Amino acid sequence: MQSLYLVYLDRHHLGDELFLKSLAQHFSNAGTDAPTCVLVHGSGEKVERTLEAQGYFPERSGGVIDVETEDQRRLVERAVREVNQDIVAALTDEVVSTVGIQGVDRGLFRLGDDASLQAANVGWLSALLKQHVVPVVSALVEASDTGTVHEVGTEAAVRALARALGEAFEPEICVLTTADVAGVPDETGGVQSEIESTALGDHPVPEPAAVRRLVETEVPVRVTNLQGLFSGSAPTGTRVRPEPPPE
């Protein structure tokens, strides 16, 4: 079965224009040898600056901006959509075949009866991946009762896509480090092969709490960087294992 890498784009990397340019250049240089990837993102730091400019000083719960008014909700939605456009523009500038997908497009994401996020109707997304297109997916969902669009946790979007695409691909989740090595550094300057999720807070991983939530799925999670993601036939990095159950 073909491997699929769901790349979790955290707020730190989304706010780094040089990173987005480098990401696009890596895809361009790899050509058809690039790993099959879906890039998944939320609002990033841009929405916080937008809200602060309007006099709002937002908090986040589970990585998602807490909105108190309809104006704030609209600003968050707009910021998420603009981030999607920025990523697609960076890839397009490097002549990478890509498509921007908002989570509300074609009913991609929906909330289940238990309020869990689900990905539905992913056949068209699978078809894009098999054509070597890089989908850029935003973590937006439409509330079925009101029709309003809300941001959801990026890790929830990644998990939903991993479950839905698992029938056609062998998914793996990739999170990005800010270190100069492709994974969690060890004491010798190399890379640890594995690390327990509870130890991530001591290492250069921007959103360790989100990574711990990702590890709760049955999908493998790897910490890497762009060099590791594009290292060859398969990404290199540090596997993240869940916290062992209490004895």
In a domain, 172, yes or no: yes
Position 136 in a domain: yes
Inter-residue contact 146 to 204 (CB < 8 Å)? no
Percent over 90 (pLDDT), the chain = 70
Q: Is residue 89 part of a domain?
A: yes
Residue 247 inside a domain? The answer is no
State the average pLDDT for the chain. 92
- Look at the chain and report how many structural domains it folds into: 1
Host domain of residue 193: 3-241
Residue 152, domain CATH: 3.40.1160.10
Q: Cβ contacts of residue 229 below 8 Å, gap of 6+?
A: 5, 7, 26, 35, 37, 174, 182, 235, 237
What pLDDT digit, counting tens, does each position of 207-231 carry? 999 999 999 888 999 999 999 999 9
Asked if residue 181 is part of any domain, the answer here is yes
Q: Is residue 246 part of a domain?
A: no
pLDDT for the residue numbered 38: 98
Q: What is the mean pLDDT of residues 77-106?
A: 96
Quickly state the pLDDT bin for 42 (edges 50, 70, 90): very high
**pLDDT by residue (tens digit) across 230-243?**
998 789 999 999 88
Report yes or no on 222 lying in a domain: yes
- For 95, counting Cβ atoms within 10 Å of its Cβ (0-12 exposed, 13-18 middle, 19+ buried), the class is exposed
**Which pLDDT tens digit goes with each residue over 102-139?**
999 998 999 887 778 999 889 999 999 999 999 999 99
